[in-house]
Each structure stands twice: as C-alpha cells, then as structure tokens.
C-alpha cells in the first residue's frame, strides 16, 4: 500500500488547482499490480476541470490495465478526502465492490480505508444494463 500512497502524494504535488487551492492526488493499482496516478486539473471555466481519480483511471487504461484493485487518494491537510460521487461511479466501472479505497493525509498518513461497496452502496454497473 505504501507505493500506492507515495504515487498519490507525487501526483498531488503536480495538481493544477489555482482557483480552489485544493490539491488532490490519486493512485490506482491494476490487476497486474502496476500503479497509475493522476491529479486534479482545474479550469477557469469550472465545470471543465476534472478530478484526480479519472486522471488515474485514464493512465491505467492507457497503460493496458483492465481492472482497479486498490486506490489511494489524498487532498489538503489532515481531513478525510474521499472520491466524489462521480468519481465513485467512474471507479465502479473498473473495480469490484471489495476494492479498497485508502484515504490519506497530504503527508501520506492513512486516515481510513473503505471498500467501494461502502462508499457506493447499491451501485449501478454494467450488470444492470
């Protein structure tokens, strides 16, 4: 888990958040054990920015990964920063309900771990189509 947290921390350092100053880094492990990271990127036209989690998902998919097995995410300070609702659904597209989501301080200390099912109960996925 430490490599995942360190990758999220390094990604957070590269976040582009000049408006909110809320830097977020995320890292995801794929089914092969590889780690992919992403950061949030704000835009002056606020709805056009994107979160760290989809950035990491994109890197994972471009790297040939098919499934997210574990996630680490961190925001500012020591407060709990979980993926937003939209990001939870995006993670759900590529992860099973038992995938661990580790929420950390900006210094990389683990605050709490959840399963995706805990963060997104009764979720909607491809099996519902």
Question: Domain 2-124's class?
Answer: alpha beta
Per-residue pLDDT tens over the stretch 99-115: 999 999 999 999 999 99
pLDDT over 70 percentage in the chain = 100
Rounded to an integer, what distance in angstroms lies between the CA atom of residue 70 and that of residue 66? 13
- H-assigned helices in 13-128: 52-62, 85-94, 116-119
User: Stretch 72-82: mean pLDDT, rounded?
Assistant: 95
Confidence (pLDDT) at 70: 98
Rounded to an integer, what distance in angstroms lies between the CA atom of residue 36 and that of residue 26? 8
Domain boundaries, the chain: 2-124
Q: Considering only the C-alpha atoms of the chain, give the largest distance between any 2 of them, rounded to a whole number of Å.
A: 41
Rounded to an integer, what distance in angstroms lies between the CA atom of residue 31 and that of residue 28? 10
User: Residue 50 above 90 pLDDT?
Assistant: yes
Active site residues: 53
């Amino acid at each position: 888990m430490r490599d995942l947290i360190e990758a999220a921390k390094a990604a957070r350092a590269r976040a582009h958040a000049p408006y909110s100053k809320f830097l977020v880094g995320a890292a995801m492990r794929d089914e092969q054990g590889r780690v992919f990271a992403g950061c949030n990127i704000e835009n002056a036209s606020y709805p056009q920015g994107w979160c760290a989690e989809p950035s990491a998902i994109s890197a994972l998919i471009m790297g040939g990964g098919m499934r997210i097995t574990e996630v680490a995410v961190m925001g500012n300070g020591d407060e709990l920063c979980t993926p937003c609702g939209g990001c939870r659904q995006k993670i759900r597209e590529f992860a099973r309900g038992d995938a661990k989501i580790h929420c950390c301080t900006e210094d990389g200390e683990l605050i709490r771990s959840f399963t995706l099912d805990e963060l997104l109960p009764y979720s909607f996925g491809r099996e519902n189509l």
